[in-house]
Structure 1
Amino acid sequence: MAAPLPPGSTIGVLGGGQLGRMLSQAASRLGFNVVILDPEENSPAGRVSQGQVVAAYDDATALTVLGKVAQVVTFEFENVPASSIERLAEAGALVAPGPRALAVAQDRVEEKTFLNSVGATTVDFAPVDSLDDLLAGLEQLGTPALLKTRRDGYDGKGQVWIRSAEMAADAWSAIGEKPAILEARAAFIRELSVICARGRDGAVAVYPLGENIHSGGVLKTTLAPAKVDAATETRAREIATAILNGLDYVGVLGVELFDLGNGKLLVNEIAPRVHNTGHWTQDGCVCDQFEQHIRAIAGWPLGPTEAHARVEMTNLLGDEVEQWRTLAAEADVRLHLYGKAEARPGRKMAHVNRVRVL
């Protein structure tokens, strides 16, 4: 991209869920047109966009069409087939973030190997391709240890804790005997996350840290800016910058961190996209993570990341969304509904930001 995309350009988004919806809304505020590609007809993102291509993410014709109408294509989830990215490139579209970031994020062994190579330390780990590998890994790392599939899996899915070697066979069976990674347990105080961005010119912007609280493997609440000391804040910024530059990244990236105390942080995982733990920025910052992502991929200057309010972000799962009447009446609450038709148990239906003056 030789110059910033002007307003009126078209941005393509792979994925029609809530993240795609909020990306589309941010892009529209900046004057861009948005076209969604998603297999679900009338998707949440499609309903707030200029148009939607209803097709599978690996549909060759649909990708060719999207690549021709969009000047840049991004995605709301990281499990996009590599062949889809190649097809878009052949059609002449830029894709951001690029294929390197996707390849790293799609394989947990590759991810941890890369992170350690740029000085973003993780827990100790071992690749697992068989029950014998798993037993050897348990001997190396000890118990308890966490077994995860190398690919896919989210919100606690595709993983199981192993508390003794006798559990190995059952754990291996529980994840479907798929290629996996075994991770040592981290003795952390709390989980933090940092949302960061890198522009096409290499500029880096980092938001204040958030503190995350999970329930049943699913993020429930993020408190931001997190109450951290200067050493922790500095280390998080160093980690974010190293990852962004190491991937030659363009766009917003989420980095999940284990806080061990005294400024020591381990990286849990990265997400090459806008992130649930960054939703607080919608009401806590002048430029939220969604606008920041659009700015980055379009070649615009990155926006400010300073917090002007303290925010408690809470996900509404399943039928919790029925609380919308009560929540809408609370003066300090900003309600963000995703437009999903069916409130299945555990499904992310909305989030609320409770705003406090700093």
Structure 2
Amino acid sequence: MTAILPLPPGSTLGILGGGQLGRMLAQAAAKLGFDVAILERETDAPAGRVAAHAIIGAYDDPLALNALAELADVVTFEFENVPAASVEALMALGVEVAPGPLALAVAQDRVDEKSFLNARGVATVAFAAADSPETAVAAAAAVGTPCLMKTRREGYDGKGQTWVEHAADAAKAFESLGARPVILEAAADFVRELSIIAARGRDGAIAVYPLAENHHEKGVLRRSVAPAEVSASAAEQAERIAARILTGLDYVGVIGIELFELKDGSLLVNEIAPRVHNTGHWTQDGCEVDQFEQHIRAVAGWPLGPTAARAQVEMLNLLGDEAAGWATYAAQPETRVHLYGKREAKPGRKMGHVNRILGSL
């Protein structure tokens, strides 16, 4: 059944994935009057506990997908590694899915992603693909060393990647990543990491948030500060990049775009994420409409909301046992606590985040 757009309150929105992003999307959808149906592989998932419906099953389980299609008027996803076949199956059942399959396909393969970006006039580091030890050595020599080797598919928070210091080391590095197809990326001589969160509505309207400055530790985002102090030129570059990507993908929803700022002030795109993004969590307490509500608005066919910043915010990820300090954070008047409801705190696992208000704007 084809959804009637804009989706009226009381409709049901489906989400593939039951983690923290799904949880915060479900909470934002409820605020706008929608019911939410979550499809997740595990019982007791964070998102399922705040949703009207929780379907337990694999993302490619035909019965689970049918159940979701029966409930949902529109479906979205919380992470980009859901099987493309699942999205196609839902669409074959007559369900509207946003963002669409092109965005998912591009984001799931790092070579396709950078090729798409370059074709749209968006700059990236030099890169080369490899699918054997021999081609890995040749690719490393082509892009120059040191270079970063990543698996073409999957991998996140620093997983599925390793540095190659000398071209001859690439064969061993290839084997260490499971002898799977890889991409080798030239090192970027950047001064800092930035990101932009942007959205595109079903009518083609585009809205962008102020840039964030991000700091990583061991491949995991540790903190973001936004709005970042950037030049007007950098802000204009980022907005232009976002518009080219969103339009090129015929995108609907919120997207996260990670950027490298070089010494000359130019920006390179590191990667894109076709979903709400960790570096956009600051918007929950810093903007008039946060990234989660914005995503719901977009996929539901509603007008996009304002993205102006009301305050400068420092977002800090709470990893593992750090979430046990919630009482300390809650006692700080300038700090807002966001916990994900995960039952087990594992080392390095994202258990929540806090937004510290640095000052009103």
Question: Shared topology, TM-score over 0.5?
Answer: yes
1:134 corresponding residue in structure 2: 136
2:192 corresponding residue in structure 1: 190
1:99 corresponding residue in structure 2: 101
Deviation by residue 1:134-175 (Cα, 9 ceiling, x = unmatched): 111122111100000000000000000001123222211110
Question: Within the alignment, does 1:346 sit opposite 2:324 as a pair?
Answer: no
1:117 corresponding residue in structure 2: 119
2:38 corresponding residue in structure 1: 36
Q: 1:271 aligns with which of 270, 273, 281?
A: 273
CA distance in 2, matches of 1:3, 1:314: 37
CA distance in 2, matches of 1:339, 1:12: 20
Q: 1:248 aligns with which of 247, 250, 265?
A: 250
Gap regions ≥5 residues in structure 1: none
Q: 1:74 aligns with which of 76, 88, 98?
A: 76
CA distance in 2, matches of 1:254, 1:277: 8
Q: CA deviation at 1:2?
A: 5.5
1:220 corresponding residue in structure 2: 222
Write out aligned runs for 1:230-249 (5 A): 230-249=232-251
For residue 187 of structure 1, what is the amino acid of its counterpart? D
CA distance in 2, matches of 1:336, 1:182: 36
Q: SS at the partner of 1:311?
A: strand
2:154 corresponding residue in structure 1: 152
CA distance in 2, matches of 1:67, 1:314: 37
Q: 1:229 aligns with which of 222, 228, 231?
A: 231
Q: 2:110 aligns with which of 108, 111, 127?
A: 108
CA distance in 1, matches of 2:176, 2:240: 37
- Asked if the contact 2:134–2:171 (Cα under 8 Å) also holds between the matched residues in 1, the reply is no
Provide runs of 4+ in structure 1 moved above 6 Å: none
Q: TM-score, normalised by structure 1?
A: 0.99
Question: Within the alignment, does 1:357 sit opposite 2:360 as a pair?
Answer: yes
1:308 corresponding residue in structure 2: 310
Q: CA deviation at 1:28?
A: 0.2
Question: Within the alignment, does 1:174 sit opposite 2:176 as a pair?
Answer: yes
Q: TM-score, normalised by structure 2?
A: 0.98
Equivalent residues, number: 358
- Asked if the contact 2:114–2:124 (Cα under 8 Å) also holds between the matched residues in 1, the reply is yes
Q: 2:322 aligns with which of 317, 320, 323?
A: 320
2:85 corresponding residue in structure 1: 83
CA distance in 2, matches of 1:189, 1:304: 30
- Asked if the contact 2:9–2:32 (Cα under 8 Å) also holds between the matched residues in 1, the reply is yes
For residue 294 of structure 2, what is the amino acid of its counterpart? Q
With 198-207 and 255-264 compared, the bigger mean Cα shift is at: 255-264
2:337 corresponding residue in structure 1: 335
Deviation by residue 1:23-51 (Cα, 9 ceiling, x = unmatched): 00000000000000001112110111101
Q: CA deviation at 1:357?
A: 1.6
CA distance in 2, matches of 1:142, 1:151: 22
Question: Within the alignment, does 1:56 sit opposite 2:58 as a pair?
Answer: yes
CA distance in 2, matches of 1:7, 1:261: 48
Gap regions ≥5 residues in structure 2: none
CA distance in 1, matches of 2:49, 2:327: 23
For residue 25 of structure 2, what is the amino acid of its counterpart? L
- Asked if the contact 1:67–1:89 (Cα under 8 Å) also holds between the matched residues in 2, the reply is no
Q: CA deviation at 1:102?
A: 0.3
- Asked if the contact 1:204–1:241 (Cα under 8 Å) also holds between the matched residues in 2, the reply is yes
RMSD: 0.8
Deviation by residue 1:78-127 (Cα, 9 ceiling, x = unmatched): 01111111111122210000000000000000000000111111000001
